[in-house]
């Protein structure tokens, strides 16, 4: 066993960190955009293109598609810094759609989409969830009618968060009525400008925009089908373990800020506060090691499936512990919204208390993660 980065990896980590420090202006404006709940605005696109032009969005991909052919530990290093500086660490294109296109897409799809994904030029809206298909994704019913040279898609999607600023849709749709239901799902890349797509905003309690999306006889060319028809669910499952790979870069930054606040306000003598902060530090350190382990497994060509689920669950639940603890330590002022002189850290905790809820339910709830850990990790029988 060996827990340290190689000298080369450590140099790279510093290079990435220096990049974000140098781009401070775009970076903080991009973070402001993201934290406002609107998604990617002009500053976000500017910084994504810069990250992409360095090959850092998809560093593990082949060079001909805009990658650097680096190992996953490098991807982890980049993600950690992005998380720290931007509050997000990947795009749907780089993290979810791209890997499936790379493994299952046609040559034409690869050449068309992968370089633009890796370059930070395009983004995808993730189109899995529907009003009646949440945790039970395989029960999705949006209909893709096979017309030979094209498909006609009709139905609705819910909580498709990036549909208002992405260029493309990464869409799961039903192409066959089957039992079990997951055998009749196909994946499509749909241009969001296609006639018949209607994007309607839904605002979360955290002030973040997500969407309900309605498809009214949307015509999609056959070339938009990814891989084989009716195999979409399997492709989604292949990719989902990549999606749940995470870092604690953002939490480490938040923890450092909280610690500085506690010291500046001389709150650190209280034994309860000391215990709580220490517990958070231990949690963050243990989650960081789980994140490193997931990256390390990918480098060994071992797919972290129960490990990725555990990481997702641990990080999202820890975020709850963090904001809850921070608000306990700071006291009543922590509930004051930004703009008031009484709001510590400019209302950050009031906002984070609401906004952090999303992490708990997006990309699979903690309960779904526990199912995966139990069934895939511990081989407990399914009902």
Partner 1 sequence: MDLGFSKSEKLLVESASGFLTKEATGIFRDTERSEAGYSERLWHKMAQLGWMGILFPEQYGGMDGNFLELILLLEEMGKALVPGPFISTIIGGCGIMRYGTERQKEDILPKLTAGRQVIIPCFIAPEPAAGAAKMKDQVSLREGQYLLSATRLFIPYAESADGFLFETRTQAGKTLFLISSKTPGIICRPFETLAADKQCEVVLDRVSVPPTNIVGSEGQGAAIKNEIELWGALCESAYILGLLEKVLEMAVNHAKIREQFGRPIGTFQAIQHQCADMVSDIDKLKFLTYQAAWKLSENIPAGREIHMAKARASDASRRVTLLGIKIHGGVGITQEYDLQFYFRRAKAAETAFGDGDFHREFVARSLGL
Among 49, 150, 293, 354, binds partner 1 (CB under 8 A): 293
126, containing H or E segment = strand 124-127
Q: Does 287 bind partner 1 (CB under 8 A)?
A: yes
**Number of shown-chain residues binding partner 1 (CB under 8 A):** 49
Give the footprint of partner 1 on residues 235-274 (CB under 8 A): 259, 262-263, 268, 271, 273-274
CB of 7 to partner 1, least distance (A): 12
The strand ranges marked E within 139-238 are 143-146, 150-158, 168-174, 185-191, 197-203, 209-221, 225-226
Q: Does 139 bind partner 1 (CB under 8 A)?
A: no
Q: Which stretch binds partner 1 (CB under 8 A): 87-95, 123-131, 162-170, 291-299?
A: 291-299
Structure tokens that stand for 15 in this block: 């290079």
For 356, which DSSP code? T
d(CA 144, CA 175): 5
Site string for partner 1, 343-382 (x = CB under 8 A): ------------------------x-xxx-xxx-xxxxxx
Q: Does 14 bind partner 1 (CB under 8 A)?
A: no
CB of 238 to partner 1, least distance (A): 22
d(CA 186, CA 170): 11
d(CA 94, CA 90): 6
d(CA 351, CA 335): 9
| Residue 18 phi, psi (nearest 5) | -65, -40
- Asked whether the beta carbons of 67 and 119 are under 8 A apart, the reply is no
At 344, is the secondary structure helix, strand, or coil? helix
Q: Which is nearer to partner 1, 152 or 267 (CB)?
A: 267
Q: Which is nearer to partner 1, 332 or 383 (CB)?
A: 383
| Residue 345 phi, psi (nearest 5) | 50, 40
Q: Which is nearer to partner 1, 47 or 79 (CB)?
A: 79
Q: Does 234 bind partner 1 (CB under 8 A)?
A: no
Interface residues toward partner 1, by CB under 8 A: 1-6, 9, 73, 259, 262-263, 268, 271, 273-275, 277-279, 281-283, 285-287, 289-290, 292-293, 296, 300, 307, 310, 313-314, 367, 369-371, 373-375, 377-383
């Amino acid at each position: 066993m060996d827990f340290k980065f190689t000298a080369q990896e450590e140099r790279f980590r510093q290079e990435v960190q220096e990049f974000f420090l140098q781009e401070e202006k775009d970076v903080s404006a991009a973070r402001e955009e993201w934290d406002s709940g609107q998604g990617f605005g002009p500053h976000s696109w500017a910084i994504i293109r810069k990250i992409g032009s360095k090959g850092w969005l998809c560093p593990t991909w082949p060079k001909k598609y805009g990658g650097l052919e680096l190992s996953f530990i490098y991807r982890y290093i980049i993600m950690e810094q992005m998380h720290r500086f931007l509050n997000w660490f990947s795009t749907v294109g780089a993290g979810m759609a791209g890997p499936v296109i790379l493994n299952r897409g046609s040559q034409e799809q690869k050449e068309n989409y992968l370089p633009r994904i890796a370059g930070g030029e395009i983004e995808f809206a993730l189109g899995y969830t529907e009003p009646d298909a949440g945790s039970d994704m395989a029960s999705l019913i949006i209909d893709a009618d096979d017309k030979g040279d094209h498909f006609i898609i009709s139905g609705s999607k819910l909580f498709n968060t990036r549909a208002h600023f992405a260029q493309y849709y990464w869409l799961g749709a039903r192409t066959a009525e089957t039992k079990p239901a997951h055998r009749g799902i196909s994946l499509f890349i749909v241009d969001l400008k296609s006639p018949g797509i209607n994007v309607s905003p839904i605002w979360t309690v955290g002030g973040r925009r997500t969407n309900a999306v309605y498809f009214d006889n949307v015509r999609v060319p056959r070339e938009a089908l990814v891989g084989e028809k009716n195999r979409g669910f399997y492709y989604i499952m292949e990719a989902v373990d990549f999606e749940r790979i995470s870092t604690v870069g953002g939490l480490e930054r938040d923890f450092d800020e909280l610690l500085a606040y506690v010291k500046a306000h001389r709150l650190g003598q209280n034994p309860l506060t000391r215990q709580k902060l220490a517990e958070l530090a231990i949690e963050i350190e243990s989650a960081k090691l789980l994140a490193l382990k997931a990256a390390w497994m990918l480098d060994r060509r071992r797919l972290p499936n129960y490990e990725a689920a555990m990481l997702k669950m641990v990080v999202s639940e820890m975020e709850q512990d963090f904001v809850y603890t921070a608000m306990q330590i700071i006291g009543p002022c922590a509930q004051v919204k930004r703009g008031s002189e009484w709001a510590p850290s400019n209302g950050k905790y009031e906002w984070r208390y609401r906004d952090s809820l999303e992490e708990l339910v997006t990309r699979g709830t903690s309960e779904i993660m526990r199912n995966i850990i139990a069934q895939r990790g511990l081989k407990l029988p399914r009902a």
